Structure formats: C-alpha cells, structure tokens
Amino acid sequence: MARVIDPRRHRNERIAAAILVLIVAAIAVMMVRWNRAEEEALRADRRYIPKPLKVTPEVVSLQELVRIDSSKPEGVAAAARWIAAYLERNGVRAELIESGPSMLNVYARIEGREPGGALLLFNHIDVVPPGDGWHIEPFAAHLRGDQMFGRGTLDMKALTICQLVAFVDVAKSGRVPQHDLVFLATAEEERGSRQGMQWLLAHRPELFEDVAYGITEGGITELVGDRLTYFGVEIGGKQMVQAVISAPTRDALRAARIALEPAMFPRQPVRVIPAVRAYFQAIAPTRLQFREGLQDIDRTIAEGRFWELPATYRDLVQNTLTTGPPEPRNGKWEMLVTMVNLPDEQPDARLAWLGKTIAPAGAIVREVPLRDGPVPTSTDKTRLFALLTAEARRRYGVAAGVQVLYRSASDSRFLRARGITCYGISPYLVNFAQSTSIHATNEAITVSAFVEGVEYLRSVVRAWAAE
C-alpha cells in the first residue's frame, strides 16, 4: 500500500524546524552578547584586582613621615623637623615654633601680590597611640597590594603630604600668588589642641594675619563598591560638651538618668540650620530611598514625615545626649554626660538646662571637662569652595557639595570662631573599612587614591594662587 504524504503536515514540520533553528540562533546570539557583557563588566569592575603599585616621590615621602612615631612628644618634634626639612629642600623658609617640651609646630608663608584673603593649609603632626591588635607593625608604612598600612596614614599624614606638595608647587612655580599662601603643621590636635592650634592662636596671633580661608581634614567621600558617588566638603558640624554629674546615691543618679532619657531619644527636630538644609539638598540626588524627604526637609517635617528619615539625618537637626556608666567616687555616685549640640548652640545654656533637669533627683553638675561651641558653619558661597567642588567633579566625575558632620572636632572649630572660612576635605577615595581604621587598628590608605589626591589638591591650590 502506497504511503500518502500530507502536504500540510510536511509544511508544518518545515515551519517548526525553521522556528527551532531561529530559537537556537537567538539563544546563541544572546549567549554571545551575555558573555561579551560579562567580560566588559569584569574589565570595568576591578575592585578585587589589586592595581599596579606606582611608588611616586610623594608615596616615599608619606612612608618616611608615617615611620616617625608621632604619638609621643619626641616623635612630634622629629616629624616637625622632617616637615621643615622638606620645605627647606624645596626652597621655602620654615619656622619651628615650640609650644611645649618637644612640641614643635611648623610655619611657612608665601607672600602674595595683594594683602588679605590668605589661604591657610593646616594639619596636625600628632597621631593617636596605635594600641594592640595590629596585624602589621603600625609605624613601618608597609605596602601591601595597593595599600599602605600605618598609624597616621589617614589621620592625617597623607593630607599633610598633599598640602606640602601643593604649597611647594606654588613656591617653585616662579609666579607670585594673588594672596598669601600659608602652611601650618600643629604639634597637637588629638588631645584637644591645647599645645597646638589653641596655643598658636593665643601666643602667635600674627601667624593668622590676613588669613581668610583654610583647608584641612574633615571631608567625606562616599562610595558604592569602589565607585565614588559623592565628594563632601565639610563646612561645619555639631559640637560636644561633656559634663560629670554627681548624686549622693546610686538611686539618685539613676533617677537623674531617667530624667535625661527624653533628650537621648528626642521625638522632634530642634531646628534646621541653613548649612544642614544645603547639605540635604546636595546629597538628595544620590539617595534613592530618601531623595524626596531630603530635597525639601522643611516640607518633610511639616507633613509629619520626619521620622521616615534614618537617624543619621535626623541627628543633624537635633541636640542629642548620651550617658556613661554610673561609678562610685569619693562617697558619691558620678556619671559622664555627653551632649552633642547643633553648631550654633550656646554650651552654657545647654549646661544650665542639664543642671535644671537633674536637680529634682538631687544630682548636680560637678565638672565640665569639655565645652566646645558655638562654632559658625562656613559659607559655601566662595570661589575656593567652587574650586574644590569643580575639581572633584572634573577629576572624579562625581557629585560634589557641602558636608555637615555629626561632630566636627578638627582645628577648624577654633578658626571658624574667629571668622576664618574653613573647608574640610578628603581628597582621595577612602573606603568603609579604611574609615573604620582611623583611631583603630590596621589604619591604611589606598596608594593609587592617595596619588590622585595629591594631584587634586595641587590643582586646586594652583588655580587659587593664579586668581
């Protein structure tokens, strides 16, 4: 019996085969494109691949400075002499100023064409003691991969080198700057600046004549992975007041602490100062979840949505307070109270409030070991601020603007109180792990980022000097 072929079935089989071929081809094309995209992504995302280490003269200088243990007075003196010698080698006269036994400060000035409007590049020489727990010698400045480990690499000897290079660059350029350019390395900052900036302001006020602007530590670079997303130029921050309160009994001290609890977890904002409003507006475009709330903080508060914001943002519109553990002393009970106040808060008014709040419990304010503030925030409406942010955008391709800190404890607080506009910067990328190493173990900086930071500040200062 002859086989009868259904032409429709034959046609359908050919169509199905063609469709199958097309599907296979499409899958093949997709696989090729996916593979190509993955290869490109791998080439672009090299966060886990160490970059080739480039040891520039600035890297060598940073190693030499970090290897001086300036957690002790004799080390501060040695580091100050190193800084002065660096300036002298590059044709700049440096003055060593003794503010205490072995506590040497370094001062240098390049005179400009016009009086007033001077720019001060200032830093501190001392570092906090390294403590225990390091996996590498803290003053060896070892290079591992693309990182340099050592106490002071971030706080703040890397920025000191950046400032030295920028200062010397202007001195050796042969061009007289429009206004004076001043360099100042202070002997002591980590323990309150009493033998550093405060001593110099009290005993050598002529060093600060004509100074209108300052650049120092304090800025924050924000990252996602290893990609810079925001370059923050610090213009101010909250100020700290510490008080020791005393009560006759433990129960009385406990009652005093309970009376303070509403101030520890405030339910409402105190007020939004202009600097914080500007900061929220600057970072809003980089915040996906809280963009709308930060863009118009006054509206957010008016609509009752203030508590939708994270505590880190809410803190900047509140006076906050923490307490230490109760301790017996001299037949009584004592507790340390730390108040972190808005920049313009009067510390005496806050202390008066503290005394009034704890009085019903029978407690008193016995001692005030720290009383900072008020400190005005610096304006961002200056040519120098524009240079700092424009160079960040040009060099790093990132949003740049103001930064207000939870607590600003740099020497800027002493200069701002005297009318000097100060900006805090971190001219190099600092990742989260590195940021937590400041004042802790295994402090480290990325070498390639440091080298880029040197060029960043050199460009800014050169542009400022040429105005």
Task: Note whether 241 and 372 are within 8 A (CB).
Answer: yes
Which pLDDT value is given to residue 16? Answer: 63
Count CA within 13 A, CB hemisphere, residue 380. Answer: 21
Examine the pLDDT at 2 and tell me if it is beyond 90.
no
Q: Which residues pair with 107 in a beta bridge?
A: 95, 184
pTM for the model = 0.87
Q: Provide mean pLDDT across the span 13-34.
A: 66
Which pLDDT value is given to residue 54? Answer: 81
Tell me which residue has tokens 């190693």.
63
Examine the pLDDT at 357 and tell me if it is beyond 80.
yes
Examine the pLDDT at 51 and tell me if it is beyond 70.
no
Taking only the tens place, the pLDDT of each residue in 222-270 is 888 778 899 999 999 999 999 999 999 999 999 999 999 999 988 888 8
Q: C-alpha distances in angstroms, 28 versus 33, 397, 426?
A: 9, 37, 48
Region of 452 on the Ramachandran plot (φ > 0 left; ψ -120 to 50 alpha; else beta): alpha
Q: Provide mean pLDDT across the span 348-369.
A: 97
Examine the pLDDT at 366 and tell me if it is beyond 50.
yes
Record the tokens describing residue 164, joined without a space.
């030295």
Letter string b/e over residues 243-270, b meaning 16 or more CB atoms within 10 A of that residue's CB: bbbbbeeeebbbbbbebbeebeeeeebe
Which pLDDT value is given to residue 227? Answer: 83
Examine the pLDDT at 21 and tell me if it is beyond 80.
no
Packed helices 73-89 and 57-66: angle between N→C axes, nearest 10 degrees: 160
Amino acid identity of residue 38, one-letter, is: E
Which pLDDT value is given to residue 23? Answer: 72
Which pLDDT value is given to residue 268? Answer: 84
Q: C-alpha distances in angstroms, 363 versus 245, 333, 394?
A: 7, 9, 56
Name the band, by pLDDT with cuts 50, 70 and 90, for residue 138: very high
Record the tokens describing residue 302, joined without a space.
């008016």
Which pLDDT value is given to residue 31? Answer: 65
Examine the pLDDT at 1 and tell me if it is beyond 60.
no
Examine the pLDDT at 12 and tell me if it is beyond 70.
no
Identify which has the larger pLDDT, 3 or 406.
406
Task: Please tell me the distance from the alpha carbon of residue 381 to that of residue 402, in angstroms, as a whole number.
Answer: 11
Taking only the tens place, the pLDDT of each residue in 381-390 is 999 999 999 9
Name the band, by pLDDT with cuts 50, 70 and 90, for residue 45: very low
Name the band, by pLDDT with cuts 50, 70 and 90, for residue 202: very high
Burial class of residue 58, CB neighbours in 10 A (0-12, 13-18, 19+): buried
Question: ∠297-343-387 over CA atoms, to 5°?
Answer: 75
Check whether the bond before 262 is cis (ω within 30° of 0). Answer: no
Task: Please tell me the distance from the alpha carbon of residue 406 to that of residue 466, in angstroms, as a whole number.
Answer: 35
Which pLDDT value is given to residue 47? Answer: 44
Average pLDDT, the chain: 92
With a CB cutoff of 8 Å and minimum separation 6, the contacts of 128 are 71, 151, 155, 190, 439
Q: Give percent of the chain with pLDDT exceeding 90.
A: 83
Q: Provide mean pLDDT across the span 26-38.
A: 65
